[in-house]
Amino acid sequence: MGFAEMLLLAVGLSMDAFAVSICKGLSMKQASLGAQAVCGVWFGSFQAIMPLVGFFLGTMFAGAIEAIDHWVAFVLLALIGVNMLRDAFGKCEACEDHNADLSAKTMFVMAVATSIDALAVGISLAMAGNVNIFAAVLLIGVTTFLLSAVGVKVGNVFGSRFEKKAQLLGGAILILLGLKILLEHMGILV
């Protein structure tokens, strides 16, 4: 997987955290750098840790499912992408309360909730092969940190205009990456 594909994956994965950060920004009177950093660190850290865990889980079982690993990667990425698209047309639960709470308990729950899909992506990366997982998780973590910090400010300044678009973009990216992995394995794409 090349840098451009890893960057697209990082952006796609960070869209849930970006959308939740927008919601956090909506509820704040002023989006301070501290608040932006708190969201960035929580979301970026979990988005980096989860694919690493998923990758190691995936490599443990790679031998057992080697014949269908490309299908596993495709299905996982497609399901995550479709779920993000579906969520884009529903209500954002984080935005319903407009809660500016940045406590460790609240941020932990939100960071885990927005990074569960990254665990499955880590499994997909193990199945895809040819992935430098440490470079991938670093890029995912940094991208999520930056987009989450920006999301707080965007939500504070512009409101929720970008939340649905971010989820649509993230879902589409993940589905297309899954399709690319499948088509490459089948020899249709080189």
The tens-digit pLDDT sequence of the chain (190 residues) is 789 889 999 998 898 889 888 888 887 888 899 999 999 999 999 999 999 999 999 888 777 766 776 787 778 778 877 877 787 777 655 555 546 788 898 899 889 888 888 888 898 888 877 889 999 999 999 999 999 999 999 988 876 566 677 777 777 877 887 788 778 778 887 6
CB atoms within 10 A of CB 74: 23
Q: What is the pLDDT of residue 40?
A: 96
DSSP string computed for the chain: --HHHHHHHHHHHHHHHHHHHHHHHHT-SS--HHHHHHHHHHHHHHHHHHHHHHHHHHHHHTTTTGGGHHHHHHHHHHHHHHHHHHHHTS--HHHHHT-----HHHHHHHHHHHHHHHHHHHHHHHHH-S--HHHHHHHHHHHHHHHHHHHHHHHHHH-STTHHHHHHHHHHHHHHHHHHHHHHHTTS--
User: How many Å apart are CA 64 and CA 10, to the nearest integer?
Assistant: 28
Q: What is the pLDDT of residue 10?
A: 93
Residue 145, both tokens: 């940190």
Q: What is the pLDDT of residue 39?
A: 95
Question: Residue 130: which region, alpha, beta or left (left: phi > 0; alpha: psi -120 to 50)?
Answer: left
Q: Return the ∠ at Cα 111 (arms to 108 and 122), rounded to 5°.
A: 130
User: How many Å apart are CA 121 and CA 152, to the nearest integer?
Assistant: 25
